[in-house]
Amino acid sequence: MKKMILVMGLAAASAFPLSAQTNGGHNFEISKNLEIFNDIYKQLDLFYVDSLSADTVIEWGIEAMLRQVDPFTEYYPEEGLDELREMTTGKYAGVGAVIRYFKKEDHVMVVEPLEDSPALEAGVKAGDLILAIDGESMKGKNTQEVSDHLRGDAGSAFELTVKRAGSEHPLTFKITRRNIAMPAVPYYGMVADSVGYIYFNRFVDGCSRDVRRAVVDLKDRGAKALVMDLRGNPGGLLQEAVEVANLFLPRGKKVVYTKGKLASVNTEYYTEKEPLDLNIPLAVLVDGGTASSAEIISGAWQDLDRAVIVGRRTYGKGLVQMLRELPYHGSLKVTTSRYYIPSGRCIQAYDYRHLNPDGSAGTVPDSLTRVFKTAGGREVRDGGGIKPDVVIVPDSLPTVVYDVAASDVMLEYVNKFASEHSGIASPEAFALSDEDYSDFVRMVSESDFSYKRRTEDVMKLLESAARFEGCYEEAKAEFEALAQKMTGDVGADLERPKNKKEIKAILENDIVSRYYFRSGAIRQQLKDDKDLKSALEILADKQRYEQLLKPTEK
């Protein structure tokens, strides 16, 4: 026994210098490379033919360094802290307007002044071209540059000069900036006789109170079931996610826990309040844009068998960031840990430490993911976001739909429609007539709009392969005939039934937002929402709802 203790003691003692040596080697590598980096900049500053901006060059170096970790670790210099505050609070000081670059005029255009915003109160309208701000021309400036000019300290005033269709001369407005709060819950309401719906789009400071108020109000209106829409929700503050999850979970339930390199970042988060409702049926809508904190609550409700998840697999962000102060009032948002939801799974989908040859981050194959169990015994998996209990396959969209939706000609048509119609039907009832749509098709056909079909690329690839194989000449006539059929024209493509349906829906939504703002656009979209329709069917069928929350029988 004494001999064993002596051997173990010697082994333990030998580990200490090895550990110190390892740490020493690591520290030496850090010191050596920092010294090299420092000397390279000094040499450039001294000998390079032109003068260098220290702020620019060093910031580029920092950005290159951060690209080696993950896209969520970011450096914010002092002048970038407003962006950081907006991310965490949902607030900024400005005029409250959605803007977009309009290529045809080489100016930025106001797409939508927000409800109750300084821009709207001053008289700014959607479709106004921003010509100048405080006398400075905005011609040729991109959206970010114009946005920087529109923002400023709350209480500060400036003059905005715009060009408006139908007005002979430019219009000038004096606008006073104020704090603009982007709502975490831009819309909620009843979507069936006894089903409430909440569109929840960001986790910012205080958002759990907004969700709580929405739930209470919907229940007062007679809601016996709820749909929580988290599609496109990028997440945000983790503590707010715990608070929202707590609305439908009993006190004392573990919602999420974090693990990192340092013990100080290992934290467990439990529900601490009495819930609003433990029994109300709950369906959650998710998609590929559902990330981070939005995945935490949808994953926690799934793991604890509290809600049926409907839609498409979520993004898969299982990394947690914290803020670290830097010299000269800067901040570093750095990934410090991974989070794990109640079943014990981490849903991180991307491996940023081992990149593919093209620089993209790889994902974990489904075959290598691990099985976990929900509280009730249902099988769930890690490694790739939250897989819904009911998967809805999205409709595929042809290239022309994407391209025309992003084009200036669609924006022009919406401006034209709004200038010719003082009002429209309610968001739920509004629809473009066939005559209106034909007018749009004519406008597109007469414009310089063009797009490239995917079939053209495939045809070229097929032709190249046929030439390589030596059989092209034999099939040349067939190739030319097929190419002719694949070409078509813009007008004919826009009139194809599937394309017409999708483009009309986008036009209707853009038009509705002009008259009823963001909340109206959300209401309009819900008319033909496949995910919502599926959720309502599940909530209307008590037996199916309960069955989805039970383990599948082998």
Q: Which residues carry out catalysis? A: 292, 303, 317
Which whole-number Å values give the CA distances from 202 to 156, 211, 312, 487, 523, in the listed order? 28, 11, 18, 43, 18
Whole-angstrom Cα distance, residue 520 to residue 529?
15
Please give the distance of CA 364 from its chain centroid, rounded to a whole number. 22
Backbone phi and psi for residue 422, each to the nearest 5 degrees, phi listed first:
-75, -20
Of 195, 203, 199, which is closest to residue 187 (Cα–Cα)?
199
Whole-angstrom Cα distance, residue 121 to residue 127?
16
Pairing of strands 361-363, 350-355: antiparallel
Coil, helix or strand at residue 140: coil
Whole-angstrom Cα distance, residue 369 to residue 350?
13
Cβ neighbors of 336 (< 8 A, separation 6 or more) are: 260, 261, 262, 265, 320, 321, 322
Whole-angstrom Cα distance, residue 187 to residue 196?
11
Which whole-number Å values give the CA distances from 384 to 316, 334, 549, in the listed order? 5, 22, 21
DSSP structure string for 237-297: -HHHHHHHHHTTS-TT-EEEEEEESSGGG--EEE--S--S-SSS-EEEEE-TT--THHHHH
Which whole-number Å values give the CA distances from 456 to 331, 371, 459, 488, 493, in the listed order? 48, 43, 5, 11, 14
Cβ neighbors of 371 (< 8 A, separation 6 or more) are: 379, 380, 381
Whole-angstrom Cα distance, residue 248 to residue 275?
5
Assigned token pair, 484 = 């002719």
Which whole-number Å values give the CA distances from 156 to 68, 118, 150, 161, 389, in the listed order? 40, 12, 11, 17, 50
Pairing of strands 282-286, 308-311: parallel
Of 386, 388, 383, 449, which is closest to residue 413 (Cα–Cα)?
449
Largest Cα–Cα separation, the chain: 101
Assigned token pair, 146 = 């114009």
Whole-angstrom Cα distance, residue 509 to residue 523?
9
